[in-house]
Structure 1
Amino acid sequence: MRTLTCALVEDSNVHRILLEKTIEKNNQLELKYSFNNGIDALKILNFNTIDILFLDIEMPLMNGFEFLSRLQSNPQIVITSQNPIYALQAYEFNVTDYLLKPFTKIRFDIAIKKAKEKVKTTIQELPEHKIIVKHNLKQVELNIHTILWIEALGDYVKVITRQRNYVVLSTLSAFQKKIGKQHFLRIHKSYIVNLKMVERYNHQYIEIHDKKLPISRTKNLELDKLLNYLD
């Protein structure tokens, strides 16, 4: 299996340096990012994919749980904490493991083995037309073929399918990268549509599932070409 990419968020300089050295000594791991606070970490990790995130809970400005609730990506989460009282709450976030500091190399290796198995399972089992999104603090498997449209909702996007809707912390641009451009087009600053779901359209709006969505003038020509191609 390939090397697993890692990031860590730890406000203690001592613990951060120790964990950096522990990761660097493991030939199965590659440390990509190291942060001393959650705010800086979100600016990078919400737009970059990693396999494993090592995360402290008790941090200033933003604690570990606040961080997880705002994290858009879905890495394997390994909590590193000096306090066992957060363990139950941590598993509500579907964390991979919970390491109590100071932890031994043997205990660290067990956590890595768990993460590695989960990453491998995800790669093997998730078809190309499915993605993992975080909805209501839980990871949800979403079939992109069922998406009708996606709309901007402040710091979130609302994903509309025939079965149900999902509210995901993401920008429209970031979400479009996640689903790919095939059969999807951003027709407006606030909307991305599944072109296969379009029922009718003119140069002012698209209609999908009895919903009229506005079209930006600059998208009319591109929309015509893509819809004619799909036909």
Structure 2
Amino acid sequence: MRKLNCAIVEDSNVQRTLLEQIIHKTPNLELLYSFTSSTEALEKINSSKIDLLFLDIEMPFMNGFEFIAGLQIKPQVIITSQNSNYALEAFDHNVIDFLLKPYSKKRFEIAVGKAIIKVKTSIRNKPESKLVIKHNLKQVELNIHAIQWVEALGDYVKVITPERNYVILSTLSTFHKKLGDDKFVRIHKSYIVNLKMVERYNHEFIEIKDKKIPISRTKGIELDRLLKCVE
């Protein structure tokens, strides 16, 4: 199994540094981000592919539970806190574990082990991936694997599925990260395609359901290799 991409949200410099050191020494983890500011962290994590989040509860401006409520795509969450009174409420937010500071390396490994098992089980048992989007001022649950392609429309993106199209306020780069699937490839500055939906292609364009989508010059060779690997 690949390493889990991790992020830390912790306003204490001492606690954050200690956690960074532990993560760097843990073979199954890859630390991508470490934040002191909950507001800055929320924006970044909502536009990134994070598997596991280490989250402090008592922070200025936004506490840990408010932070969880603001997540658009929820990674596995391990709460870290010096106050055991938060434990019951933490599990009400469906977190994977609660680490009471100061915690031992062994206790840390147990918590991470739970996250690894949860991710493995999710990959094995989940037949389709869902993404919650806002379309026409409503929350819509979208099956990621049904997406055929995504195209840029200024400050918006247009998501094409067999049933209907969705227009979402987002950049193409941000939406690409939310898809979280390596079968979605940006083949042009204005297009992301689902490789499993490609019917025909040449060095100039690919075709999905009679739609010809241009390929940028830099993506031609890579696209040929990727399409040959699609199961």
**TM-score (normalised: structure 2):** 0.64
Judging changes above 3 Å, is the alpha-carbon distance between structure 1 residues 179 and 74 closer, same or farther for their aligned structure 2 residues? farther
- 8 Å Cα contact 2:147/2:159 also seen in 1: no
Judging changes above 3 Å, is the alpha-carbon distance between structure 1 residues 63 and 179 closer, same or farther for their aligned structure 2 residues? farther
- 8 Å Cα contact 1:74/1:133 also seen in 2: no
Once superposed, what is the RMSD of the aligned Cα atoms? 3.1
In 1, the alpha carbon distance for the partners of 2:159 and 2:43 equals: 27
Shift of 1:180: 6.7
Q: What's the secondary structure of 2:33's corresponding residue?
A: strand
Query: Counterpart in 2 of 1:44?
Result: 44
Query: Counterpart in 2 of 1:102?
Result: 102
User: Counterpart amino acid of 2:97?
Assistant: D
Query: Counterpart in 2 of 1:93?
Result: 93
Q: Following superposition of structure 1 onto structure 2, how do residues 61-140 of structure 1 map, counting pairs within 5 Å? A: 61-127=61-127, 130-133=128-131
2:135 to 137, 148, 151: 151
- 8 Å Cα contact 2:77/2:95 also seen in 1: yes
Judging changes above 3 Å, is the alpha-carbon distance between structure 1 residues 117 and 83 closer, same or farther for their aligned structure 2 residues? same
Query: Counterpart in 2 of 1:55?
Result: 55
Query: Counterpart in 1 of 2:148?
Result: 182
Judging changes above 3 Å, is the alpha-carbon distance between structure 1 residues 180 and 6 closer, same or farther for their aligned structure 2 residues? farther
Judging changes above 3 Å, is the alpha-carbon distance between structure 1 residues 193 and 75 closer, same or farther for their aligned structure 2 residues? closer
Percent pairwise identity: 47
* 1:122-152 deviations in Å (ceiling 9; x for gaps): 111122xx22457xxxxxxxxxxxxxx9614
Judging changes above 3 Å, is the alpha-carbon distance between structure 1 residues 181 and 31 closer, same or farther for their aligned structure 2 residues? same
In 2, the alpha carbon distance for the partners of 1:15 and 1:76 equals: 20
User: Counterpart amino acid of 2:148?
Assistant: Q
Q: Following superposition of structure 1 onto structure 2, how do residues 142-221 of structure 1 map, counting pairs within 5 Å? A: 151-153=135-137, 157-159=138-140, 181-182=147-148, 195-197=161-163
Q: What's the secondary structure of 2:11's corresponding residue?
A: coil
- 8 Å Cα contact 2:81/2:100 also seen in 1: yes
User: Counterpart amino acid of 1:196?
Assistant: P
In 2, the alpha carbon distance for the partners of 1:152 and 1:184 equals: 17
In 2, the alpha carbon distance for the partners of 1:132 and 1:93 equals: 19
- 8 Å Cα contact 1:96/1:115 also seen in 2: yes
User: Counterpart amino acid of 2:77?
Assistant: I
User: Counterpart amino acid of 1:29?
Assistant: L
- 8 Å Cα contact 1:150/1:191 also seen in 2: no
Query: Counterpart in 1 of 2:194?
Result: none
- 8 Å Cα contact 2:54/2:80 also seen in 1: yes
Name structure 2 gaps, 5 residues minimum.
165-206, 212-231
Name structure 1 gaps, 5 residues minimum.
135-148, 160-165, 167-174, 199-224
* 1:89-135 deviations in Å (ceiling 9; x for gaps): 111111000000000001000001000000111111122xx22457x
Q: What's the secondary structure of 2:79's corresponding residue?
A: strand
**TM-score (normalised: structure 1):** 0.64
Judging changes above 3 Å, is the alpha-carbon distance between structure 1 residues 191 and 120 closer, same or farther for their aligned structure 2 residues? same
